[in-house]
Each structure stands twice: as structure tokens, then as C-alpha cells.
Chain A
């Protein structure tokens, strides 16, 4: 590894010649910001961080890395939660946040072209008043970049009706690991040839570095009905969720918050959530005004039939936005509950929600941990939040074990170990559990076709990619290699 660090440092001068000293960081104190993303259990500094501003600069940076034989990886805003932009083993980090131009908004043909560093919400703001929006809205949308959304195939609360990032990406321009610039797709639908756009979305930066994205724009709904269903029993709430889906209603969003999270939110935002309720469902339908009240009545009736104490309707747009603000900032409110927390991201078939929540409660009791839940219930996408104090090593171990058991339980229900956060480094050890050797061999072949020398984002996603899925008992050990 020492050899690699020396090799990487030989690139400082060429990078400075290419980008100027302002856009190249190599001093240890400057690099600390880049030692992790939202996954903080493992940390490691890159050797160099560069800030290209154009596609051509990305191409040149990658060519220099390729020629020198050093590893490199892209980074957006660093909000990802699975260590996707953790520089395992060091190397060059290519930060794309300065490529933040919206290149085109085409109203008639319903697409926009953006650079990868455009912040998700900035595109939404640019579209305000046009009658269109960019549908994927992850909770971190105020900070996360569209390039990062493409890398992780981001979701968000509204994916239940509108789909995830890949359903809204028409094409990408990207730089391969040897510096070759490619374009897949573009403003038209159904490009001839393999769906390389769909293959690149969600590949977590292991196949190419995206430098331009064509996104589909979605018509704004005419109206909304946003409801709060208040339940005295957790199981009643999950049964109501299954019943809503089974009735053929497709809400725009269907989120669940348990008592623990509701209490934290109430303390933080004073919305007026009932503190004694075991579960609160946040349900939103959108679309044509002509159909909304019918759907609202249906949902209200289903909730009542399943034991809801109360179904409250957001009175106006202000109240609706406040509700969503609470939901999207839920993770911020958790600081009130404990010094540290670990958010999991499992998925189960929607009808298995009652079963899996019972298991999560039992796992929490077994490891003597508080676990609160706020999640995308309509998709079956769970986010159990394990509360702990990272200064206590014994608690850290219990959190890791409980997390693993929760994800194993999701797999046993026929689910997945990640619905939207990605594999990154965090979940590499689960790939062998979720996939058969033949599946992983095929994934390796796909990786080799794009990134044959594995210098682009090594040690990520695949257990064969160099990270062997060791037990996470010694934070930082693996990251530093």
C-alpha cells in the first residue's frame, strides 16, 4: 500500500498543472473532510482530492490515474449511507460538486440535461412554475447531487407511485476507467442497443463516472390529499398498509413512523403529533382533483376498519409542507434520542411488514437496544434506526450484530438488504447471502467489461472486488487496508 501512496502523490504536480493549485487538495488537514460519507463506522482519507469543472477535466484526471496505475473514485455531496464514496486504500477522489450547471430544460419534450454536481432540489427549484418536476426526492435532496442519485439509484418517499431514479433517467454521458468518454441514450426514449444507461444507474460508481445526465420531467399533480392515520397498535397500522395496497390504491407516498420517532419529531418540530400513539401513517395521494376525495375516503375507511383512532387531513399546503418537512428531517431529530444512531435499509414484501416489525422489536430486546422506525411502508422499505453511544465499544458490537440479524430476517422474508442506500462497503458481506455464486460471477463479468483493472472504486459492492466481507469488528481496519 505504501507504494500506492507514493505513486498517487506523484500525480499532485500533473493535477495542479491541469486544474490549478486551488482545485487540488493533498494536505492531510484538507483531506479529513473526505474520509467518509454518511456511513461513519469506517473512515479513511484519500491521498488527493481533485475538483474538475468540465467533462474534459474529468477525462484528463482519469487518464492520468489510469496511466499511473492508481485507484480513484467519484464523490458527490457525500450523503450516501453505505460508504459508497469511502476511499478504501486511499487513491484519488474526484469530487464533482463543481460541475453544477443545469445545461438545458426542454419543456415540450419533457427532459432536462444536468451536470452530475447539480443538487437535487436545485433542479426542482429551477422547474418551479413550469408545471413539471423531477420526481425522485430522497430525504437528503437539499444536499445530495443528481450524479450521486444516479450512482445509488436513489429513492425517496414518492417512489411508491413514481418509481426510483432509474425510471427517470433517459441517458448519461460517462467516463470509463481508462478515460474513454461514452454517451448512452439521450433525449429520446428506447435507444437501440443494450440498456447501458439502466445498467450504469445504481452501479455505485464502480463502472464509470457520470458527467452528464438526461432526466425525464414529470407533470405536477393537480392536487394532493395528505393524511395522518393514528394507530394505538403497531400491527393494526401495518395491516392497514397492506390493505391499502391490496385495494389497488397507489398512494404517492405511504410512510410509517413509530412512537419513538414521533416523540422525537414532536419535540423537535411541535407539529402536534399524538405522543401516546404506537404508530402514525403519513399517507399522500396525488393526481386529478376529480379523483382525490374518492381515494381519501377509501383510505380513511380502510384505516378505520383496521383500528385507526383518528385519520387527520392536512388542512392546506402549509400544513402539508410542514408534515413533509418533519418526515424528511426525521433523522435530524434523532439526535434528541441518543448520541449516535445507525440506520438500516432493508426491504420485505409489503405483506410481510407486520412479521418483520415484530422481529425487529424482538431483536432490539435481545441486544438491549432501542430501535425506532420511520420508513417507506408502501414499498416495504424499512429504516429501523438503532440508537447507541459510539463511545461504548460493547454497544457498537451489539448494534452491528442486531443490524446483521435484522437484515438476515429481511432476506428470510424474501426481501433485500438494501432498498435505496446501496451496498457500498457496509453490506458487502451480505452479497454472498443474497446472491448465489453464479449471480456474483455474472456481476463480476459486468464489472470487468466496464472497469477491467478494477481501479475505479475498488473494494466496493462485490465481495470479489478485493474487500472480502470481513466482520466489522474493528472499525477503520479495512478502510485503511
Chain B
């Protein structure tokens, strides 16, 4: 049941056709102190909507390619461009922006950067902050500003690319982005295995730290959603330790060497049947892994812990809410927890009482990245405890948006 992008049946929405119109509407909103909520493809809206106040500003009209000097391996595009369209444009030049996002025909680049969304290949390729080299935005003063530039190496001025990535549109509404690109890999393959138990899984994950075979994704999958998926795709049967998927990219010789080496390496640890998926099968699996957040449940939380605590953390969650399904980007300690339906009660107790403190124990946090639009999530349940000083975030907010009109409520700044 793929979730569709949410739109607001409300006449009180704004769709600026160009950047000057956006500047004007922010100026008007600032004058009357009216809140604005920037929207890309609307794919993150079920959660954002519950905190969004005021008028929605749709950015999807700002979707032009400004400059694509392919031989420089950079592209400058407007922030409202859909991720799927961007992927096609880049693929024609055998290039890619290696961020895996669900609903890419709807999701926009600006939305992905504003929410700092990332998927399976973050282990090998990094996240949005590693690819944004130039950025333009309009702040709450209706001041259009830019940071970075169009070259891959640049240390002139403060780095607004970092400040705005993951800022949920609270400091400025993004209009244009310059990206550093990667070549598309010529070959890919995935290894799929069902560990006998979580001890064996932990041993396999530990060994990955020292193996020369470098996967670009290390995914650990458990729960009902993946059990159903496994049955449909004839995966080997699993225990409570679920499935471990490694994804490899590179030259044909490299991919062949890595999958062989990995299987030899695992022989010592003793997992049963290792399945190797090549090319189009591997592509399909990556695409399905990328859709998890959109299709796996009504409520999704994201936790970040140090990678070595992943298994322990997931065990706690699975015992608290047995109906949840989990996709852990295990190499990075990023865990996505999907709950099929919002429970009538008890969720806050688990998340705030157990999960957030457990994550905090290794310097992490648990935040909601999806929940039904009509549900009342408290700020604490939604955002957890930010890992940066709140006072400083508030001072930044005050400087860039003194009237508090840009996505008020996000991060509680």
C-alpha cells in the first residue's frame, strides 16, 4: 500500500512561480507575522503537517536545471525538482546523486535536503551534507542569500550548505542547490543472509569493520513487514535475527571479488545459505529497501546510536512493540522503526521512557519521521532531545527569522 503524497485541500496555499514571487510572499507574511510552511513533494507531510501552522508554500514550480556542466561533475538545480527527474537527468550522463529516498517521483531535492533524509547507501556514500556544495535560500527577513558556490572545493565564507541541510525550512526556504555528483557504478550486487541468531549477526557485523570487501550498504531487516516481503521473494527463512543485506557497487572485477571474499569471510562465522543477487535483482532490492519508510507502517521513528549498539537497541524495541518492523542501516547506527498502526496508548511510554534514554546512552536520539496527520504527537515524542544546544538554535532562529514565520514549531526553536 504505497503512501501517496499528501496535498492540502485548502485554498490558503501559495505556489510561487519564481524566486522573486517567493521573496514577495515572504515579505508579506513577515509584515503580518503570518506563518509559512514550505512544502516540496509532500512526501514527509504526515509528520510535518501536525506541527505546520499557517499557509503552505509549494516549491514544486521551482524545478529548473540552472546549469549542468557534466564534465565538472556538478549540477545546479532549483530546489523544487523531483528526485526521480533529477535521477534521470544525471543517469543520461552516467552520473548520480547517491541519496536513496522513497517516493522519488514526488519527493523534491529541497525536501530531501531540508529533512536530511538518507537511505541504505549512506554507509558508502555519506548523506546530503556531503553533496550540497552551494545553496540559495530566502530567510524570514525576505532576504535572498547564498552560501558555497559551484566548485567542489571552497572555503570562502560561512557554510550555509551545512546550516540549512536538515533545518526543516526554519531558517530559510531553499530555492536552489548546487550538488557534487558521483559516477554511476557499472556493476552492483547484493548478498542476503539469515543469521542463526542475534549473536551470530553481531559477530558478522563486527567482522565487517575489518573486511577489505567494502559494501556501500549494510542493512539489517526484522519484523512482520520483512517476513511478508521475504515470503513474496522466496528469501531463506529467518529467526528473530531477521536478514542481513550487503550491497556492493564498483567495477565488475571489484564486485565479483567483494561478494566472493565476503562469503569466504562468513564461512568462519557460520551463517546458512547466502543468496547473491546480481544487477537488476540487486537494483530492485535497493529500490525496495529505499521505499521502506513510505510503505511499512503508519508511524515511523528514526533512532541514531553508535553502530555497535544497533543490535542491543533493536532487541529492546522489538520486545516493547512486537508488531514493529525494522530497517537498520547497521553500518551507520541509524535505525528506522515502523509501527503498522498508531497504538491507542503506551507509545509515549516506550519512546520517551525507554528508547530515547537508551539511545541517549550512546550519544543518540529517537525522533518521529512519520505519523498520521491527525495524531497529537508532543514535541518530545516528535523530536526527542536535540544533540545541539537549544539556546544557540534559538539565537540562530531569532537572527534568520525574528518573526518566527518559517515552519514554526519545528525543533521547538
Contact = CB atoms under 8 A, between A and B. Distances in A.
Contacts of B305: 188
Nearest to B142: A438
Interface stretch (B122-130, B271-279, B346-354): B122-130
Interface stretch (B97-105, B216-224, B231-239, B382-390): B382-390
Contacts of B327: none
Contacts of B398: 449
B65 interface: no
A222 interface: yes
B392 A153 contact: no
Given A250-B183, A288-B250, A192 B365 contact: yes
A446 interface: yes
Interface residues of B, number: 86
A439 B146 contact: yes
B395 interface: yes
Interface in B366-387: 367, 383-387
A464 B16 CA distance: 33
Contacts of A420: 153, 155
Interface in B166-187: 166-167, 171, 182-184
A131 interface: yes
Contact of B333 (A188, A415, A416, A445): A188
A17 interface: no
Given A414-B151, A416-B154, A438-B144, A131 B388 contact: no
Interface string A194-209: 1111110111000000
B290 interface: no
Interface in A396-434: 414-423, 427, 430-431, 434
B147 interface: yes
A164 interface: yes
Interface in B207-248: 209-210, 212-214
Contacts of B254: 287-288, 290-291
A123 interface: no
Contacts of A431: 156-157
A139 to B, nearest CB: 14
A167 interface: yes
7 contacts: A131-B210, A188-B387, A192-B388, A349-B74, A435-B146, A446-B158, A450-B395
Contacts of A192: 304, 365, 367, 383-388, 411
Contacts of B147: 439, 442-443
B60 interface: no
A363 interface: no
Contacts of A287: 254
5 smallest CB-CB distances across A and B, nearest first, come from A198-B162, A248-B183, A191-B387, A193-B386, A290-B257
A199 B71 contact: no
A294 interface: yes
A184 B129 CA distance: 16
Interface string A160-190: 0001101100010000100010111111111
A193 B411 contact: yes
Nearest to A287: B254
Given A159-B153, A349-B150, A423-B157, A109 B308 contact: yes
Contact of A414 (B150, B256, B258): B150
Most A C-beta atoms less than 10 A away, residue of B145, B384, B393, B395: B145
B251 A294 contact: yes
Nearest to A248: B183
B143 interface: yes
Given A152-B155, A185-B387, A380-B152, A351 B399 contact: no
Contacts of B163: 194-195, 198-199, 446
Given A194-B393, A349-B72, A379-B153, 14 more contacts: A109-B308, A110-B209, A110-B307, A190-B116, A194-B166, A198-B129, A349-B150, A350-B73, A414-B151, A415-B149, A420-B153, A436-B145, A438-B144, A443-B157
B319 interface: no
A250 B411 contact: no
A431 B155 CA distance: 12
A163 B130 contact: yes
Interface of A: 106-110, 131, 152-153, 155, 159, 163-164, 166-167, 171, 176, 180, 182-199, 201-203, 219, 222, 242, 245-246, 248-250, 287-291, 294-295, 347-351, 376, 379-381, 414-423, 427, 430-431, 434-436, 438-439, 441-443, 445-450, 461-462
Given A198-B162, A290-B254, A193 B393 contact: yes
B389 A347 contact: no
Contacts of B129: 166, 195, 198
B53 to A, nearest CB: 20
Interface string B250-268: 1101101110000000000
A167 to B, nearest CB: 5
B401 to A, nearest CB: 10
Nearest to A184: B388
Contacts of B307: 108-110
B126 to A, nearest CB: 7
A442 B143 contact: yes
Contact of B165 (A195, A439, A442): A195
A123 to B, nearest CB: 18
B69 A349 contact: yes
B365 A191 contact: yes
A405 to B, nearest CB: 18
A8 to B, nearest CB: 27
Contact of A381 (B144, B153, B156, B399): B153
B151 A415 contact: yes
B51 interface: no
Interface string B30-74: 000000000000000000000000000000000000000111111
Contacts of A290: 251, 253-254, 256-258
B364 interface: yes
A18 B307 CA distance: 40
B70 A199 contact: no
A187 B362 contact: yes
Contacts of B118: 190
B158 A203 contact: yes
A107 B306 CA distance: 12
B332 interface: yes
B300 interface: no
B159 interface: yes
A245 B393 contact: no
B387 A438 contact: no
Contacts of A427: 156
Nearest to B171: A194
A380 B210 CA distance: 34
Most A C-beta atoms less than 10 A away, residue of B152, B155, B308, B333: B155
B306 A194 contact: no
Nearest to A421: B155
A300 to B, nearest CB: 16
A219 B214 CA distance: 9
Given A188-B362, A191-B386, A291-B253, A422 B130 contact: no
Contacts of A291: 250-251, 253-254
Nearest to A420: B155
A237 to B, nearest CB: 16
A387 to B, nearest CB: 25
A302 to B, nearest CB: 13
Contact of B158 (A194, A415, A436, A443): A443
A186 B363 contact: yes
Interface string B392-413: 1101101110000000000100
Contacts of B393: 193-194, 196
B139 interface: yes
Contacts of B210: 131
B383 A416 contact: no
